[in-house]
Structure 1
Amino acid sequence: MAISGDPLQTGQDRRSRARRVHPAWLIAAVAFLALVAAAGFRAAPSALIEPLQSEFGWSTSAISVSVTVNLLLFGLTAPFAAALIQRFGVRRITTVALSLVAAGAALSVLSTAPWMLTLTWGVLIGLGTGSMALVFAASIADTWFLERRGLVVGILTAGSATGQLVFLPLVAVVAESSGWRWATLAVATAAFLMVPVVAGFLRDRPEHLGVTPFGAPDGWQPPQRSSGNPARAALAALRDASRSRTFWALVAGFAICGATTNGLVGTHFIPSAHDHGMPQTTAAGLLALVGVFDIVGTIGSGWLTDRVNPRILLGVYYIGRGIGLAVLPLLLDATVNPPMLVFIIVYGLDWVATVPPTVALCREAFGDRGPLVFGWVFAAHQLGAAVAALTAGLIRDHTGQYTLAWFGAAGLCAVAAVISVAIRRPGTRPQAQA
């Protein structure tokens, strides 16, 4: 029998640990599935605008109000959700969030007026998805991983794209064949089914499983956990971060990111393509294809973020996105042509590839407060998305087309690229303002 300190026993223990999959990867897998479920309904409204207009005669801007409220709450909930996760644990918050998404989707089938859609799509689902926003991915990565954080953020961010990939074609087909209510109930069911999975398998911290984070060195000690008021912690993070130029640069860039993805393309691509004679299911398939390539692009961006200056990555991503939006009005047609497929591939690779480098810059500039600060940066992302969703709807109602919205978004991407490349490294110049 081997005694303590026996070299043979020590070597066997090391090999056993090497063969065993670290629990952090299981937690990341459950988090990925939860993000897929939460993302389902965020992709759905773009495929439901036309059916709602056909049944009720509502204008694009009237329906866009509910999407705008959803996007606003999705963003404004995020920093407080990050503080709640630190205070009460990721499992409780995620379980409540998925329940809100499922309830909001299920209740929306009773809507007979735009304000009812705003309460369900906007308020309930906005609060639920906001609590499952990308701060959730940042919290999982920062809590469970000390190595491969960029890659993990990329994988979890791709969960949103996977939700779009899985649900958008389904929603479009069901809405066309059976009506928008059955399509909405399908999304609600998926969110409900994910609740017991999260409650049963997700864990708050590595210590709860008797392990250290992935990549933790010998002697690692867990950081002190917040025990104060979550709202106060979130507001304190905003107060302190707002003294930094880096924070405002990240806010501006990420607001433009939200405007040019969820707000504009995510909400209005299908109606815009339909204006040019493209069938709704075809347009939904193209938007889902964006999700396919987003998975590749976001995971690849996470890998690159661990190796390349994130400022350079953001500059490249925004320039590429702006070029795509500038040419999109020339590509829209009743049929899918090869240039449109090129746009879909490039835009998909770039869709939320901005997230891993943005999270990395928050961590670089604000340390352990990085997830909380990213919550506020993400709030700006959704504020930009909400403004773009409403503005594009108004442009469509007043001009009869979306062309001005596409060109305006392209110009904003150039601004975001310049801002991102100019972000200073910590210590190169004082960050705080008097």
Structure 2
Amino acid sequence: MSKKTFFLAGLLLLFACNRYPHSSSNATYGAVTDDSIYTAVQRTTFNYFWEGAEPNSGLARERFHVDGVYPQQDKHIVTTGGGGFGIMAILAGVERNFITRSQAFERMQRIVAFLKRADRFHGAWPHWLDGETGKVKPFSKKDNGGDLVESSFLLEGLLCARQYFKNGNAAEKQLAASIDTLWREVDFNWYRNGKNVLYWHWSPEYQWEMNFPVTGYNECLIMYILAAASPTYDVPAAVYHEGWARNGKIKDTTTKYGHTLTLSHNGAKEYGGPLFWSHYSYLGLDPHGLKDQYADYWENAKNHTLINHDWCVENPKKYKGYGADSWGLTASYSVKGYSGHAPGMQHDLGVISPTAALSSMPYTATYSMQAMKHWYTTMKDKIYGPYGFYDAFSETDNWYPRRYLAIDQGPAVVMMENYRSGLLWKLFMSCDEIQQGLKKLGFQSPYLK
């Protein structure tokens, strides 16, 4: 399951504490209300990546269905993108004292050793891997090679881990060096296919037949920043501006409920799309003060979230259960398969995905807490299980599947931690290469020296 399936197919923010100063000596973060619920949810969701990980590789399983309704062989299929989110979740687990630093180090050793021997294609991993053998598991017939988007999500996590362990003891420094080697081996230039744009896939059997040049705006900003930042296979700034930004056409204003967006998805007039667009790249990339010629990324992500919230409160399609206590539309399991839920009469199917609100904690802390408390205190028996809130539910359809997806559990743990401590933001933004890549592309950020 993947967010790529989606492609292929006037309220005020009440917590001013969502913003924080970037000085390491005096940084303060939003005080968390109802801390016991917050910690319980974060810890239980973290366990998807700790107790629920695929045992041989140590990486996140693609999915886990508590109801048992899924093929037996899926138990050993790991997802590279969700694996990257899981790495960040493990670091958050140390910060919260869910596990010890030594436990995290041992798990990271296993993960890195697996990734070193696993199938790679010009340095990039495939979307799915067999956790027992390290061999590619085709996501679809022609999607049996490198997946640069999923690899970028994995690298986002790996670079956070590198920064976390690089100044530790000798063994930790060696782990950091091994991660650095994996990062340096990803050939971003290859995935240009000779053009000023990055392609999602390449297969040794089907070459470029998937034919998916990645243009914005969506969840893939992180891929272009990594490509510009690569110390070995960096791409020129023109790849970002001509490919991702579509020669400036990415900039397109839409206003809903008094909240203005300045970026569009390939010219489509939407209300920001599913919320994962404002999560995946920003698990490590701190949007506070992040700006370029196209957008203020904090403002765009915050307004994207507020539109999503306000749509559910207005509830124009009159779905049961929607409101200030239950909101959040993103790509997830749906009543009929899998769907990219989003504001709009066509994309809103009456399905709430808890990860949407939880992963938006940095943007809308009050509204996210309101939903989390409601779900935890009044709906827990229906929508909460061994690894936190289940992936999605619909009160309208009386649909409460007991199923999880790594790519939805991970952002919840990580963004809840970023709201609390900024941990993953600090780690990722401390990378010298990332800072240089951002400068190269014309970004401003408080982290840039």
Which of the pair is proportionally richer in strand?
A: 2
TM over 0.5: no
TM-score between both structures, scaled by the size of structure 2? 0.26
Structure of higher RCO (CA pairs closer than 8 Å, 6+ residues apart): 1
Larger radius of gyration: 1
